[in-house]
Amino acid sequence: MYYTKDTILYLNGKFIKAVDATTDLYSQTLHYGYGAFEGIRSYKTSHGTKIFKAFEHYERLRHSCKSVNIPFDYDSEELTQITYTLLKKNNLSDAYIRPLVYCSPNMSLTTPNEVYLMIAAWQWGKYLGDNLLKLCISSYQRPNPNSLKVDAKVTGHYVNSILATSEAKVRGYDEALMLDMNGNVAEGPGANFFLEKDGVLYTAPAGHILPGITRQTVIGICRELDIKVEEKFFKPEAIEGADSAFMCGTAAEVIGIESVDTKPFRKPWPESLGAIIQEAYKSQVLEKSYSDVII
Ligand code: PMP
């Protein structure tokens, strides 16, 4: 599903066939979840294939590694160029790109001597689909920021996300909405959350969330479109009686929410601020002007 016999990936300075790639089973990443990764998208635009915010994603990869003491000294411009070459070699335009920094064999709980980089790309539909989502409040909280670097995209952190998403699916929902350790609404297992109430959007501030690049893009769109956004803590009770909500992330893009714990929102999605932002986001990644899409 992610590769065929012809797929090429980037591994430690070389482009090789995915089927020929190997790894060491004693890698610290495999045993302890000590690695860092990214999720990036490229789009077929009228100016050719464009990787959306490639530099920002690779800077975050550097930040993730640095914050957990994984040595990683690639330059973000160089990584961007490598990724364009990878896309070309695989004949991909609309793609999801997955860089992964993983560690050398080390069964001790010490920083690694060596790290490796692989970059893969494949075609992937919108991660949470196109339909409005039915969410449930998860019984799993976001990790305590004193235990982990919650703003780093570190492999092991995603056990928390997998538990939350799989619990939601077992309970018959599409996705989970997670609270932080103080009971405030934080984010989804792989996407940030925005709530619309009386013409204002609310989203959790940095601290307990991965403050996404898409979240930042949405905040920028709101500034341009004169939509008021507040980054503040709020309790799940604020969701009841709110007008609408959406999630956003590189893989999910912008996706509307139908209900949380079976309670629907007041506004139909097409009339929500989220629907406007969804179109504006689409136009930004495709490098079109907003007016081509919205009006
Ligand atoms: N929160 C979490 C926990 C995530 O895994 C992601 C996906 N990287 C996001 C938010 C959204 O981040 P971004 O917009 O940078 O993809």
Backbone angles phi, psi at 197, to 5 degrees: -145, 125
| Choice among 53, 149, 153, 197 that is catalytic | 153
Q: Are residues 151 and 274 in the same domain?
A: yes
Q: Are residues 29 and 149 in the same domain?
A: no
- From the number of C-beta atoms within 10 Å of its C-beta (0-12, 13-18, 19+), residue 15 rates as middle
Q: Are residues 114 and 150 in the same domain?
A: no
- Model pTM? 0.97
Range of the structural domain that residue 75 is part of = 8-122
Per-residue model confidence (pLDDT) at position 127: 86
CA of 192 to the centre of ligand 1 (A): 6
CA of 38 to the centre of ligand 1 (A): 9
> Which of 64, 89, 79 has its CA nearest to residue 149?
64
* Residue 127 belongs to some domain of the structure: no
Identify whether 153 is a catalytic site residue.
Answer: yes
Per-residue model confidence (pLDDT) at position 292: 62
Per-residue model confidence (pLDDT) at position 128: 87
Ligand 1 pocket, mutate which of 63, 248, 250, 277 (most atoms under 8 A from CB): 250
CB atoms within 10 A of CB 248: 27
> Which of 1, 116, 19 has its CA nearest to residue 9?
19
Q: Are residues 183 and 103 in the same domain?
A: no
Residues within 6 Å of ligand 1 by CB? 39, 153, 161, 187, 190-192, 210, 212-215, 249-250
CB atoms within 10 A of CB 41: 24
Q: Are residues 152 and 278 in the same domain?
A: yes
Q: Which atom of ligand 1 is nearest to the CA of 252?
A: 16
| Sites in the chain below the pLDDT cut of 50 | none
Last residue of a domain, one of 92, 122, 152: 122
Structural domain total, the chain: 2
DSSP 160-218: HHHHHHHHHHHTT-SEEEEE-TTS-EEE-SSSEEEEEETTEEEEPPTTSS---HHHHHH
Q: Using CA of residue 152, residue 153, residue 158, residue 162, what is the dihedral sign?
A: positive
Region at 69 (left for phi over 0; alpha for psi -120 to 50; beta for the rest): left
CATH number at residue 56: 3.30.470.10
Q: Which atom of ligand 1 is nearest to the CA of 213?
A: 15
Q: Are residues 143 and 255 in the same domain?
A: yes
* Residue 23 belongs to some domain of the structure: yes
d(CA 290, CA 288): 6
Q: Which residues contact 228 (CB under 8 A, 6 or more apart)?
A: 199, 200, 201, 222
**Are 257 and 248 contacting, i.e. CB atoms less than 8 angstroms apart?**
no
Per-residue model confidence (pLDDT) at position 129: 86
pLDDT tens digits, 86-142 = 999 999 999 999 999 999 999 999 999 899 999 999 999 888 888 999 999 999 999
Q: Are residues 177 and 214 in the same domain?
A: yes
Q: Which atom of ligand 1 is nearest to the CA of 38?
A: 8
CATH number at residue 277: 3.20.10.10
- 220: Cα separation from own chain's centroid: 17
What is the token pair recorded at 290? 């907003």
Q: Are residues 113 and 138 in the same domain?
A: no
